[in-house]
């Protein structure tokens, strides 16, 4: 009998566990599309309810993260702007993620995939952090939807990204630029980013299909994945490091070889006869020609504020040597032409320079006035601090006595409070009234004032039929119809907008036009009084929707 009851109890526990599991798994399952005919029009008609859910992330439970697989191909390196610290590339981006709202039978619908417009689906807000300009690549309006819910998106992008360039070894420099992919708004609990192909495959395919083979050459691509902390949340980021090398042949032919030719001609100018003035005029012509060469070369050399390239140091030394050779020529010509007219150096000048000044050079260094003042200050400081050091124990004993007295008073006060608490004859209200402060709380008055303060600003509570995102989206439709007005119940209520921004790059300063070019990430926060919901009833405490469905404050930068 006991075994029968135990077995029945075990069966009941197993059935209850199975029912609970099915109830938990039911909201997270995708609905199957039924096609009337195995063709594209029937499949499109069956997918029509799915298009109404394009405003939310395609998961039944918001605690489920959407895994986005990323890969790209570099089609061309368009150029590098050393002055603005920008790298210009042309990419083909590939994104893959799962849509939990839809599946279908390929045999029943006649196809295992279909190409549909991008605006009919939710698309992850994956951006490149270093992106510094608008995308001027052609627009691809379609994405592929597979029968198992896989969404595949591919689009071209002209990426103008910031890159910290090190041009110390110009023109033989190798630059390392970074592409950081992450979600603009969603945290790691919502969107996780993974690498779809290996970096070796991305590098090989990029080298094979690269069409723009100009000044820069692609060496390799590496990556690492990490979480960027933003307060209590994390943002999943995938960073690619792209190493490119400059082809230095053009700069060697146009810059280094002509400069070496001019220095060689300047050295051979010493073979000219020093008695004539032809050598000086020839060197002056070389210096003027080299100055013009530097002005022309200024447009080719990179300009940066971090380091000075070695090639600039080389050109400066060449110019300094040419000026030194000109001064030497002038000195030699002056000595040769004016030695007959000049008298020999007087004896007293030789004695002054060689004996007196030479003896003065080796004299010991005298103590400076600042050192003497410092020594006097140290002596005065010792004279002041000495008596204080002697009185130190006395002051310390006085402080200890004060602390002990204060501790005795606090101990006596604590004993008195405990005695009053243990005494049952005197109530707590009598104990409070015997003190200086008389407290008479009124709970009803407090509740009445609280209701008056919050009556005008209360928001409408949403009711969700199920704890999932589709039911929450359905409950939010009346709120979306009010996106044309400011979200306050009373027009006299002010909408407080909190603003913060991150300065990502300083693109440049145009002094002539008085323009300052920057790239910032702006963040706005405000409260919508038209909506509120119970997180337990709706299954989540937040949801991401398109910006066009809500009222957005018209906060602008006046100097834009």
CB atoms within 10 A of CB 84: 18
State yes or no: pLDDT of 434 exceeds 60.
no
Q: What number of other Cβ atoms are within 10 A of residue 28's Cβ?
A: 13
Give the pLDDT confidence of 80-105 residue by residue, as tens digits.
Answer: 887 777 888 889 999 999 999 999 99
pTM of the model: 0.63
Asked whether residue 190 carries a pLDDT value surpassing 50, the answer given is yes
453 or 237: which carries more pLDDT confidence? Answer: 237
* Rounded Cα gap, residues 229 and 226, in angstroms: 10
Q: Output the pLDDT for position 481.
A: 87
Mean of pLDDT over the chain:
76
Q: How many CA atoms lie within 13 A of 534 on its CB side?
A: 8
Which pLDDT score is estimated for 299?
72
Does the bond joining 389 to the residue before it have cis omega, within 30 degrees of 0? Answer: no
472-515, pLDDT tens digit by residue? 888 888 888 888 888 988 888 899 999 988 887 777 777 777 78
Percent of the chain scored above 70 by pLDDT? 70
User: Which of 23-27, 52-56, 244-248, 320-324 comes out lowest in average pLDDT?
Assistant: 23-27
Task: Give the β-pairing of 233-246 and 216-230.
Answer: antiparallel
CB atoms within 10 A of CB 292: 10
pLDDT at 427 over 80: no
């Amino acid at each position: 009998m006991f075994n029968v009851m135990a077995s029945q109890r075990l069966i009941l526990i197993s059935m209850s566990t199975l029912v609970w599991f099915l109830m938990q798994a039911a909201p997270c399952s995708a609905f199957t599309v039924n096609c009337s005919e195995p063709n594209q029009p029937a499949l499109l008609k069956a997918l029509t309810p799915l298009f109404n859910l394009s405003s939310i992330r395609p998961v039944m439970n918001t605690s489920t993260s959407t895994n986005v697989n990323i890969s790209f191909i570099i089609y061309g390196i368009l150029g590098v702007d050393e002055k603005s610290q920008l790298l210009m590339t042309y990419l083909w981006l590939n994104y893959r993620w799962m849509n939990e709202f839809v599946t279908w039978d390929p045999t029943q619908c006649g196809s295992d995939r279909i190409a549909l417009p991008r605006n009919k689906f939710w698309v992850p807000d994956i951006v490149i952090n270093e992106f510094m300009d608008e995308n001027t690549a052609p627009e691809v309006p379609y994405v592929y939807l597979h029968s198992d819910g896989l969404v595949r998106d591919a689009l071209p992008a002209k990426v103008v990204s910031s890159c910290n360039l090190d041009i110390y070894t110009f023109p033989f420099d190798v630059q390392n630029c970074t592409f950081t992919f992450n979600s603009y708004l969603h945290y790691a609990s919502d969107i996780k980013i993974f690498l779809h192909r290996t970096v070796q495959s991305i590098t090989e395919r990029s080298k094979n299909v690269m069409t723009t083979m100009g000044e820069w050459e692609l060496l390799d691509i590496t990556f690492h994945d990490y979480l960027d902390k933003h307060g209590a949340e994390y943002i999943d980021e995938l960073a690619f490091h792209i190493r490119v090398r400059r082809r230095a042949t053009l700069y060697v032919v146009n810059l280094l070889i002509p400069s070496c030719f001019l220095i060689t001609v300047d050295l051979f100018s010493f073979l000219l006869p020093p008695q004539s003035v032809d050598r000086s005029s020839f060197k002056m012509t070389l210096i003027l020609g080299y100055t013009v060469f530097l002005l022309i070369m200024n447009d080719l050399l990179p300009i940066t504020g971090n380091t000075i390239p070695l090639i600039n140091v080389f050109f400066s030394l060449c110019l300094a040597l040419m000026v030194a050779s000109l001064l030497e020529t002038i000195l030699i010509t002056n000595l040769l032409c004016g030695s007959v007219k000049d008298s020999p150096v007087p004896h007293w000048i030789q004695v002054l320079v060689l004996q007196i000044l030479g003896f003065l050079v080796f004299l010991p260094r005298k103590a400076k006035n600042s050192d003497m003042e410092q020594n006097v200050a140290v002596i005065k400081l010792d004279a002041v601090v000495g008596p204080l050091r002697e009185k130190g124990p006395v002051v310390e004993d006085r402080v200890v006595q004060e602390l002990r007295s204060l501790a005795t008073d606090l101990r006596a006060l604590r004993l008195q409070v405990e005695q009053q608490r243990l005494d049952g004859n005197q109530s707590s209200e009598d104990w409070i009234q015997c003190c200086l402060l008389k407290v008479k709380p009124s709970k009803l008055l407090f509740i009445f004032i609280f209701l008056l303060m919050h009556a005008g600003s209360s928001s409408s509570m949403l009711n969700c039929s199920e704890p999932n995102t589709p039911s929450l989206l359905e409950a939010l439709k009346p709120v979306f119809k009010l996106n044309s007005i400011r979200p306050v119940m009373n027009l006299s209520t002010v909408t407080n907008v909190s603003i913060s921004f991150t300065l990502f790059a300083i693109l440049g300063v145009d002094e002539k036009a008085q323009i300052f070019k920057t790239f910032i990430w702006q963040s706005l926060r405000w409260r919508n009084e038209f909506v509120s919901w119970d997180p337990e009833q709706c299954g989540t405490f937040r949801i991401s929707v398109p910006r066009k469905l809500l009222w957005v404050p018209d906060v602008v930068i006046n100097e834009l």
